[in-house]
Chains A and B, each alone.
Chain A
Amino acid sequence: MSESQTATQIANDVRGKRTSARAVTEKSLARIAAVDGKVNSFTDVLGERALATAENVDLRLTRGENLALAGVPFAVKNLFDVAGVTTRAGSRINRTNPAAAKDSILIERLEAAGAVLVGALNMGEYAYDFTGENAHDGAVRNPHDLAHMSGGSSSGSGGAVAAGLVPIALGSDTNGSIRVPSSFCGLFGLKPTYGRLSRARTFPFVASLDHLGPIARSAADLAAAYDAMQGPDVEDPVCTDRTSQLVSDELGKGTSGLRIATLGGYFQSMGDPEIFRAVSVVANALGAKDKVELPEAARARAAAYVITAAEGGQLHLPRLRSRAADFDPDVRDRLLAGALIPAAWVAAAQKLRRWYREQVLQIFDRFDILLAPSTPTRAPKIGQKTFELGGETMLVRPNIGIFTQPISFIGLPVVSVPVWLDDGLPVGVQVIAAPWREDLALRVANALEREGICEAPVASL
Chain B
Amino acid sequence: MQQNDKDVPPQPLVTDTAIDAHIDAASALVGLTIDSQYREGVKLNLRATANAARTVLQFRLDDDSEPAPVFRA
Contacts and interface: CB of A to CB of B under 8 A. Distances in A.
Contacts of B59: 296, 299, 352
Nearest to A310: B49
A124 interface: no
Contacts, number: 122
Interface string B15-56: 000000011001100111111001001111110111111011
Given A238-B70, A355-B3, A410-B73, A317 B32 contact: yes
Interface string A338-373: 111110110111111111011000000000000000
B53 A345 contact: yes
A354 B66 contact: yes
B26 to A, nearest CB: 4
A194 B49 contact: no
Nearest to B58: A299
Interface stretch (A151-159, A180-188, A328-336): A328-336
Contact of A302 (B1, B27, B31, B52): B52
Contacts of A332: 38, 41
Contacts of A347: 67
A333 B38 contact: yes
B68 interface: yes
Contact of A353 (B22, B31, B71): B71
A358 B72 CA distance: 11
B45 A348 contact: no
Contacts of B3: 355
Given A321-B33, A354-B67, A306 B38 contact: no
B52 A305 contact: yes
B23 A302 contact: no
A336 B42 contact: yes
A436 to B, nearest CB: 7
A193 B72 CA distance: 9
Nearest to B34: A336
B30 A333 contact: no
A321 B73 contact: no
B41 to A, nearest CB: 3
Given A337-B42, A350-B67, A358-B1, A195 B72 contact: yes
A238 B27 CA distance: 31
Given A337-B42, A351-B65, A306 B71 contact: no
Given A336-B45, A340-B46, A353-B71, 10 more contacts: A306-B49, A306-B56, A341-B46, A349-B56, A351-B65, A351-B67, A354-B71, A355-B61, A411-B71, A436-B73
Interface of B: 1, 3, 22-23, 26-27, 30-35, 38, 41-46, 48-53, 55-57, 59, 61, 65-68, 70-73
20 contacts: A296-B59, A299-B56, A305-B49, A305-B52, A332-B38, A333-B41, A336-B41, A336-B42, A337-B44, A339-B32, A340-B32, A348-B57, A351-B61, A352-B56, A353-B71, A354-B67, A355-B61, A355-B65, A411-B71, A435-B73
Interface of A: 193-195, 208, 237-238, 296, 298-299, 302-303, 305-306, 309, 317, 320-321, 324-325, 329, 332-334, 336-342, 344-345, 347-355, 357-358, 398, 410-412, 435-436
Instruction: Give the 4 A-B CB pairs with smallest separation, nearest first.
Output: A333-B41, A411-B73, A337-B45, A345-B53
